[in-house]
Every structure is written in structure tokens, then in C-alpha cells.
């Protein structure tokens, strides 16, 4: 049996390098990425897939620039999900548009060393220079343990740096290592049975000699073949791994596999077991237990936060508090933004001559864009709380208590993270569903994720609540907002149950969840996430919403009607005619043609409903100096009945809880499912659900005597 040669990968001191950050989910990899790259980041997608690609620049001394690639979190390189496949293909240098890394920084959760080192040993097999960033060392200390970093480095054969990334400790040490020549001497020390090692070496030689692979690539592919322990159909393996082997190579590999099967050798899990035996030895040698009876505060807190009753009380209490802060703290910057746009409108009116351009700016662009940007403080507070809960480790507890409900309705426990992400925006929520292994469970999650109330619905809920209860306290507003969010959760669970029982039948999924220890949040990381989200929000306000505001102004201003009242001019405009065309369909919901214009416009983005209403009612000269809320109060049907009654406000909120109303989400669903059939099905079922729910609320409310 031949032995593996010593791998001596070296990173020279050349000016430009590509380094990859790899690691398990929840190991603090994103915090390290943010600390290294700060605001020099770009977010896109890997070519051909919908997996998010995050890259950034790190400038070191002597003019040395590093391109940092943040790989998707993965537990191993044995592919089960699109995220894991992307991580593997980048590390193997097979990802289009992303060069093979010159160096890999493996971010390791020091508190879960055994599980995290499995991925490190797999990356070592690829022959890449490695630095191990031993993160969250404060948690190791709180657990009453110590890690001998020097000993760990010797056993692994790679440089190891101790870090507490969320406190910015160890970042400078990591940068110093990145400035040096990295030469990691590595000889594989874990071994399987002699027979397996012999056949493994035979496969490696076939792939080197006849497959044209390097030794590290051949070793990795041979391990994947051994773990499958099955016959390889012609071309199937090549297509799956993006490698094209000849039939001769595949036949030889199958002969080796067949010999193992005949001899009854258990090959499928042999490499996994051998790795873990070696890792256990490393942990035993490098980890010192200094306090066997250390207080486990995590367990004590979890007895409350994961309790079947108090867990729900805590969850609802946290959500209520979050909405309370949204309705109190956000008031001050919202007032400032409102006065700024009002002042801007006055300045334009005084400085520009009368004409269509001034009318467009004053009655189209300013109320349209300003009507959305005013809600930016509320959305930032929402993202702040979500980032805080993720960083502290609470999100995993929320997933744990929600799994009890989701399992009863047939949803996968992993569905909770995509659904929770959808509270911020349905787009990352839909994309997060790719971590679910089962195609049916993944599709169900994608179909129901947009039912969660995203941040784009906040402006609609906020203005409707203000009209519904003008004198409501912040706690009352928070309570109504919480009901809207709970309705979305109930709807998602209900529709998930229906889909699992009918269109997408399948076994009840199992869910294994690791609860990470509680951690102090990295406020720098949270602020960076808020910055990224606000930048995307403002970009949309400056593109989609700006464009739509101009289009809506044109539709509502033309054809020009001279010598008629503003309200009649709006009625005779192109937009007015569109609204009147759909009015018979929406009138049973309590909506008139003006609300219809808002419903049509908001398909571009839900929050556009508010900006559309700003434009609709600001075209009326009598409403120019009133707020949108007051304009809603003044709106009437032709017979004098008020338009925005409490019942109509509730009906509109219910409609937006269930309606898809977001063309960006439709596009992402199409890319994730690669199916027009499922995309149109989602759009149709959510629209019908929204219509029926709003109709029921309005008509039943009328029968019961409500207005």
C-alpha cells in the first residue's frame, strides 16, 4: 500500500491572492468576514445557481490585496444541498467566475471542536494551504476548558490562531499570518483498514493516470466513490461532479467497487469513522478540562426559553417588545424624514416655474419616494432586532419551539429559518430554503415563505393602523401588528399542512438541531447587516419605486383634462380608467378604483401601495397640505360614504397579509424552483387566498353591523 505524500502547499508573497473563508454554520464565519473586509464587500450569486456569493477586499501592508470569498456554511464536503455543492466546487477550483483559493481560512467554533474539525480534515485532503481560526474561545473558558493552541497546531500540521471575532480579538493575529508565507506540512494520519486503503490507492492511481486529476483531487473523488459503495452509471458520476471521465475510467472504478462488495467490506462509513477517531485523539490531546462542574447557564436559560409553555410566552413577548420599539423609537427619525421631504417639495415649488416637470417632481417623485423612505427607520429597527436575536443564539431556540408546531403540520424544522428570514424579506427567505435536503419539503417551504409578513408590509400596516385607531398607544399598535404577523405564521403552517397532505405528499421529516451556547452579540456585525439591508432598500427606492412613481404620475396626469376638478381629472386619466376597470372586482372588498390603483402598483413592491396612495391623493389640490392619514379620512364614495372605514382598513391589512404582491419574489421563486408551473401556482393561490380572506372580513363585518 502506498503512503500519501507529505503535502507542502505554499502561499507565496505575491501581491494579489484569493482566500476562502470556510466553516460550519453558526461558527462566526460571517463575523470574521465582516471584520476583515468591513464595507469593501459585494453580494451576488454564483453563476448558474441561486446561492449567494459574498466577496470582499482586504488590504494588507506593502500594497498586498486579498480577495476574500465567504463560502456558504457547510458541515462537510459530501454534497446534500446546493450550498454544500458550491463550497466544494469553489475549493476544487471548478466554480465559474471564482478562482481556486490560494489559501483557506477554516473558521472553527472552539466550543464544538470535534464537529468542526471534520470539515478541516476534508479541506486538508484537497491540498490547499490552511489557517485554522479558532473562534469563540471565550465560550471554551466559560465551559471550564482550555485549548492548547500550540499542541492543536502541531497535531493538525497547520497554523492555528485563537480568536473572539465578535470582540475583534485575534483579527490582527489572523492578518499577520495572512502577510506571511504559509507552508503547512500535512501528512494524512487517519487510516482505514488495510484492504480499504489498498483499494483507495488503486482508485487514486486510476484517476491520476487515466482521469487527468491531481493527487488531491483524485484522493477526494475516490473517497466520495468509496462512501457511495455503489455501481456508477455511465456519465452520471461525471455529470454530477462536473468532471468528464471516459467509459474506461468508469469501468475500472466500478471493478474496484465490485471487488469491495464481493468481499463484504463495509466501505460506506469507513472514512467517516476513521476521521472521527483521529479527531477524538486530537481533542483529547489538545483540550484540557479545568472545571468539570462549570455552571451551565445555557441549560438553565433553555429550561425557560425552550419550555412548551414559557417558550411561547417568551417568543410572543420578544416579538411584542420589538414592535413596541418600532412604534416608539422610529417616530422621531420618521418625523424628521417627513419634514425634510415636505421642505424639499416647498423648495422645488418656489424655485421652479410651473409646468409638467415641476408637477412630476412635486406630485410624483417626492411623495412617491418619500412615502417609502419615511419607513426606513422602522425597517432598520426590525433588522436590528433580527440580527441581535441571531447573534445571541436565540433564533435556534425559536426554531426548536416552532418545530413542535411545524412537525404537526408536516413542515420540516429547518423550514423555520427560511420562514423567519421572510419576516425581513421573502427573497432571502425563499433562498434559505435550499438548506433543506428533501426536494418536496424545500418546495413546500418556498410556497409558504411569502406568507410571513415581510418588512415591505410594515408601511401598509402602519398607515392602516393609524387610520383605524388614530389615538392608539404604542402598545395597542404593537398588539395589532403582532396579530398580523401571527396571521402570517398561521397561514404558512396551514397551507404547508394542505400541500403536504395533497400536492406534495411525503413522510414526516426528522429534524436534528444543535442549540449553540448563548453569546454576546457582535454589534459591529449587526450594524453592518443593517447597513447592507438599508442600502438595498434605498437602492430599490431609488430605482423601482422612483421609476414606478414617474410611471404612476404619468398615468394619473394624462390625458390632460382642462377646466375640470382635480378629482375628475384623476378619474378620467389612464390610471383612473385602469382602477375603474377592476373596481367591480374589488368593490365587494370595500375598495374603490383609487385603492385599485394602489393594488395594481404594489405588485412591483408591497410598500409601493403607500407611495401610490401619496401620489393619488396629493394630486387633489385640497389634500396637498394634509398628511396621507388625513387624506384617507377625507376620502369618500360618490354617495358621500367614507371610503377608509375601520372595516376597510382591516380588510386591506388582511389582503396584504396573504397577497404575494411582489414581482421580485416571483422572479426569485422562478429561479429557485426552475418551474413556471409552481411559480404561477404560488401567485394564483396567494392572490385567491388574499381575496377570499379580505372578502370574508368585509362582508361578515357588514352583516354583523360593523362599518
pLDDT at 585 over 70: yes
pLDDT-based confidence at residue 491 (cuts at 50, 70, 90): very high
* pLDDT, position 181: 78
* pLDDT, position 4: 53
Domains delineated in the chain: 10-183 (3.40.50.300), 194-264 (no CATH)
pLDDT at 148 over 80: yes
| Strand-pair category, 10-11 with 182-183 | antiparallel
> What grid cell was written down for 610?
403607500
pLDDT at 583 over 90: yes
> What is the distance between the alpha carbons of residues 86 and 90, in angstroms, rounded to a whole number?
6
Section 138-158 average pLDDT: 87
pLDDT-based confidence at residue 278 (cuts at 50, 70, 90): very high
- Contact at 8 Å (CB) between 384 and 525? no
3-state SS class at 678: helix
> What is the distance between the alpha carbons of residues 176 and 595, in angstroms, rounded to a whole number?
60
Contact partners, residue 332, CB within 8 Å, separation at least 6: none
pLDDT-based confidence at residue 619 (cuts at 50, 70, 90): very low
> What grid cell was written down for 10?
505554499
Contact partners, residue 245, CB within 8 Å, separation at least 6: 211, 237, 238
> What is the distance between the alpha carbons of residues 203 and 522, in angstroms, rounded to a whole number?
47
Return the closest-CA partner of residue 551 out of 364, 413, 698. Answer: 364
- Contact at 8 Å (CB) between 260 and 228? no
Please give the helix or strand (H or E) that residue 183 lies within, else none.
Answer: strand 182-183
- Contact at 8 Å (CB) between 229 and 33? no
- Contact at 8 Å (CB) between 672 and 430? yes
Q: In this predicted model, which residue has the larger pLDDT, 612 or 103?
A: 103
pLDDT at 250 over 60: yes
- Contact at 8 Å (CB) between 327 and 458? no
- Contact at 8 Å (CB) between 298 and 136? no
For 191-240, write each residue's pLDDT tens digit. Answer: 888 888 888 888 888 888 887 888 888 888 888 777 665 555 555 454 44
Helices (H) and strands (E) in the chain, counts: 33, 11
> What grid cell was written down for 686?
396567494
Taking each helix axis from N to C end, the angle separating 523-540 and 29-37, rounded to the nearest 10 degrees, works out to: 70
Q: How far apart are the first and last CA of the chain?
A: 85
For 439-460, write each residue's pLDDT tens digit. Answer: 888 899 999 999 988 877 888 8
| Percent of the chain at pLDDT exceeding 70 | 84
pLDDT at 680 over 90: yes
CA distances from 328 to 325, 424, 531 (A): 5, 19, 21
pLDDT at 696 over 90: yes
- Contact at 8 Å (CB) between 47 and 148? no
| Lowest-confidence region among 3-7, 42-46, 153-157, 328-332 | 3-7
Q: In this predicted model, which residue has the larger pLDDT, 434 or 302?
A: 302
* pLDDT, position 626: 43
* pLDDT, position 581: 94
- Contact at 8 Å (CB) between 37 and 56? yes
Return the closest-CA partner of residue 131 out of 199, 62, 68, 204. Answer: 68
Residues comprising the chain, all counted: 707
pTM value surpassing 0.75: no
As to burial, measured by CB atoms within 10 angstroms (0-12 exposed, 13-18 middle, 19+ buried), residue 53 is buried
pLDDT at 249 over 80: no
* pLDDT, position 367: 75
For 54-87, write each residue's pLDDT tens digit. Answer: 899 998 876 778 999 999 888 888 777 777 888 8
Average pLDDT, the chain: 81
Phi, psi of 354 (to 5 degrees): -60, 150
3-state SS class at 56: strand
pLDDT-based confidence at residue 702 (cuts at 50, 70, 90): very high
> What is the distance between the alpha carbons of residues 526 and 493, in angstroms, rounded to a whole number?
29
For 378-424, write each residue's pLDDT tens digit. Answer: 778 877 887 888 788 887 788 778 776 777 777 766 677 678 767 76
pLDDT at 319 over 70: yes
Query: Within 13 Å of residue 125, how many CA atoms lie on the same side as its CB?
Result: 23
Amino acid at each position: 500500500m502506498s503512503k500519501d505524500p507529505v503535502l507542502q502547499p505554499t502561499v507565496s508573497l505575491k501581491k494579489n491572492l484569493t482566500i476562502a473563508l470556510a466553516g460550519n454554520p453558526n461558527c462566526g464565519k460571517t463575523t470574521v468576514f465582516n471584520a476583515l473586509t468591513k464595507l469593501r464587500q459585494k453580494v451576488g450569486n454564483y453563476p448558474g445557481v441561486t446561492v449567494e456569493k459574498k466577496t470582499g477586499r482586504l488590504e494588507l501592508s506593502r500594497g498586498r490585496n486579498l480577495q476574500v470569498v465567504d463560502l456558504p456554511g457547510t458541515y462537510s464536503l459530501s454534497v446534500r444541498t446546493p450550498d454544500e455543492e458550491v463550497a466544494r466546487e469553489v475549493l476544487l477550483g471548478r466554480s465559474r467566475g471564482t478562482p481556486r483559493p490560494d489559501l483557506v481560512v477554516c473558521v472553527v467554533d472552539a466550543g464544538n471542536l470535534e464537529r468542526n474539525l471534520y470539515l478541516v480534515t476534508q479541506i486538508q485532503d484537497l491540498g490547499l494551504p490552511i489557517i485554522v481560526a479558532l473562534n469563540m474561545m471565550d465560550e471554551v473558558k466559560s465551559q471550564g476548558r482550555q485549548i492548547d493552541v500550540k499542541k492543536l497546531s502541531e497535531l493538525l500540521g497547520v497554523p492555528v490562531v485563537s480568536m473572539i471575532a465578535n470582540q475583534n480579538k485575534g483579527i490582527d493575529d489572523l492578518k499577520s499570518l495572512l502577510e506571511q508565507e504559509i507552508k503547512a506540512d500535512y501528512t494524512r494520519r487517519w487510516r482505514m483498514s488495510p484492504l480499504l486503503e489498498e483499494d483507495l490507492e488503486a482508485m487514486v492511481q486510476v484517476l491520476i493516470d487515466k482521469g487527468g486529476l491531481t493527487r488531491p483531487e483524485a484522493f477526494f473523488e475516490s473517497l466520495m466513490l468509496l462512501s457511495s459503495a455503489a455501481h456508477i452509471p455511465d456519465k452520471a458520476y461525471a455529470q454530477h461532479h462536473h468532471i468528464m471521465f471516459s467509459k474506461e475510467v468508469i469501468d475500472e472504478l466500478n471493478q474496484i467497487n465490485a471487488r469491495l462488495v464481493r468481499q463484504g467490506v463495509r466501505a460506506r462509513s469507513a472514512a467517516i469513522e476513521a476521521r472521527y477517531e483521529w479527531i477524538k485523539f486530537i481533542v483529547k490531546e489538545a483540550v484540557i478540562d479545568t472545571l468539570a462542574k462549570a455552571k451551565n447557564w445555557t441549560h438553565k436559560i433553555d429550561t425557560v426559553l425552550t419550555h412548551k409553555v414559557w417558550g411561547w410566552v417568551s417568543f410572543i413577548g420578544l416579538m411584542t417588545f420589538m414592535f413596541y420599539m418600532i412604534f416608539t423609537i422610529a417616530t422621531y427619525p420618521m418625523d424628521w424624514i417627513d419634514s425634510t421631504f415636505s421642505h424639499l417639495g416647498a423648495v422645488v415649488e418656489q424655485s421652479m416655474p410651473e409646468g409638467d416637470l415641476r408637477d412630476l417632481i412635486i406630485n410624483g417623485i417626492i411623495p412617491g419616494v418619500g412615502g417609502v423612505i419615511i419607513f426606513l427607520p422602522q425597517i432598520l429597527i426590525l433588522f436590528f432586532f433580527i440580527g441581535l436575536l441571531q447573534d445571541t443564539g436565540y433564533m435556534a431556540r425559536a426554531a426548536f419551539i416552532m418545530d413542535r408546531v411545524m412537525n404537526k403540520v408536516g413542515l420540516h424544522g429547518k423550514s423555520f429559518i427560511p420562514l423567519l428570514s421572510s419576516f425581513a424579506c421573502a427573497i432571502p427567505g425563499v433562498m434559505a430554503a435550499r438548506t433543506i435536503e428533501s426536494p418536496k419539503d424545500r418546495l413546500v417551504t418556498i410556497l409558504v415563505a411569502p406568507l410571513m409578513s415581510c418588512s415591505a408590509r410594515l408601511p401598509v400596516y402602519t398607515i392602516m393602523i393609524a387610520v383605524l385607531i388614530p389615538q392608539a398607544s404604542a402598545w395597542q399598535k404593537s398588539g395589532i401588528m403582532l396579530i398580523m404577523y401571527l396571521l402570517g405564521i398561521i397561514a404558512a403552517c396551514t397551507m404547508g399542512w394542505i400541500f403536504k397532505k395533497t400536492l406534495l405528499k411525503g413522510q414526516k421529516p426528522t429534524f436534528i438541531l444543535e442549540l449553540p451556547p448563548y453569546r454576546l452579540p457582535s454589534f459591529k456585525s449587526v450594524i453592518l447587516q443593517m447597513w447592507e439591508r438599508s442600502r438595498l432598500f434605498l437602492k430599490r427606492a431609488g430605482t423601482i419605486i422612483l421609476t414606478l412613481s414617474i410611471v404612476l404620475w404619468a398615468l394619473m396626469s394624462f390625458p390632460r383634462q382642462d377646466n375640470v376638478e382635480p378629482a375628475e381629472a384623476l378619474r378620467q386619466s389612464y390610471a383612473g380608467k385602469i382602477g375603474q376597470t377592476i373596481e367591480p372586482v374589488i368593490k365587494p372588498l370595500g375598495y374603490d378604483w383609487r385603492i385599485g390603483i394602489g393594488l395594481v402598483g404594489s405588485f412591483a413592491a408591497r410598500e409601493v401601495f403607500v407611495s401610490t396612495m401619496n401620489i393619488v391623493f396629493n394630486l387633489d389640490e385640497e389634500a396637498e397640505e394634509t398628511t396621507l392619514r388625513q387624506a384617507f379620512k377625507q376620502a369618500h364614495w360618490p354617495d358621500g360614504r367614507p371610503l377608509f372605514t375601520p372595516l376597510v382598513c382591516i380588510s386591506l391589512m388582511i389582503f396584504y397579509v396573504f397577497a404575494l404582491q411582489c414581482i421580485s419574489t416571483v422572479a426569485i421563486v422562478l429561479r429557485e424552483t426552475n418551474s413556471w408551473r409552481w411559480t404561477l401556482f404560488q401567485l394564483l393561490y396567494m392572490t385567491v387566498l388574499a381575496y377570499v380572506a379580505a372578502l370574508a372580513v368585509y362582508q361578515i363585518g357588514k352583516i354583523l353591523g360593523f362599518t
